Structure 1
Amino acid sequence: MPTKAESENRLLNAGELELVNATREPEIGALSLEQLKSISRRLREAHAKARDIAARQQREMRGKADPHGIRPAADNTGSLAKSQAILEAMQRLDAELLRRGEAGSSTPE
């Protein structure tokens, strides 16, 4: 059974893989707040694109939409998995942003 990293290597393109890998320790800890926000924006765009492609493929499979290519999509599990991998990276990034926000806003009593 392939590991999570192997399956992400297969699912994601080079740019998306770079973004997802940046959300893991220790890389995420070395990023500035501005870099984290930039990565967050790019991940949200990639997630929206993957989600839209999966939805289009689903409609093609049901026969509700014309095929995007020559043949209609027969399966959209890859697109769904890609969307899920990006979503997990977004959740890690959001947790780090929340952690940093709480650390910066706490005042000693």
Structure 2
Amino acid sequence: MSLSTKQLERVLDKGEWDLVARTRSRIIATVPDGELVDLAKNLRERRDRARGIARQQRREMRGKSDPKATVASGGNVGTKAKADALTVALKRVGAEQTRRAEKLRQPSQRSLARKAMAMKMRQEALQRPLSHTGDDGMKPIVNPRAAPSGALDHAGQRSAMQRSKFAR
């Protein structure tokens, strides 16, 4: 659940509010890489501390542990909201770090042009024949219903011999 700016100011102390405010979308883009790493580290430390306090308060409410203060805590809603707000801010920092890493990994225009040229040359090489010799040419298609003319051991041998002996 996202909290409004007023609710965040109420839940977070001054130092935490400054950290969370630096993770807003327009501001985080201007933060240098080194400061982004420090920001993530500080947010993580404060989030872990808030989680630990919320866990302790929850145990005190259930009666599982002795109270740290003189009176057992009555609820951990504010501490839980603080941990959630710090978690959301930490996710924004992680997303920004991932975005910057992806931007660095993008190939340059020069490498993309070289890759395209290599693909084009490879495609043209596949379309050219491997040698300059001709093929066997057209292949005859044998008609299985045609009579075997001129064959001496087949039907029609007598008529073929008769035709060849006499002039027309």
Give the TM-score, by structure 2 length. Answer: 0.62
Q: Structure 1 unaligned segments of length 5 or more: list them.
A: none
Partner of 1:19: 19
Q: Which amino acid aligns with 2:15?
A: G
Distance 1:85 1:102 in 2: 26
Partner of 1:89: 89
Larger radius of gyration: 2
Q: Which amino acid aligns with 2:29?
A: G
Q: Structure 2 unaligned segments of length 5 or more: list them.
A: 113-168
Partner of 2:54: 54
CA RMSD of aligned residues (A): 0.9
Q: RCO higher in 1 or 2 (8 Å CA, sep ≥ 6)?
A: 1
Q: Note the C-alpha offset of 1:83.
A: 0.3
* CA deviation profile, 1:9-57 (whole Å, cap 9, x unmatched): 0010111000000000221011100010000000000000000000000
Partner of 2:137: none
Name the structure where helix makes up a greater proportion of residues. Answer: 1
Does residue 78 (structure 1) correspond to residue 78 (structure 2)? The answer is yes
* CA deviation profile, 1:62-83 (whole Å, cap 9, x unmatched): 1011111111011001111000
Identity among equivalent positions (%) equals 36
Distance 1:4 1:66 in 2: 34
Distance 2:92 2:101 in 1: 14
Question: 1:26 aligns to what SS in structure 2?
Answer: helix
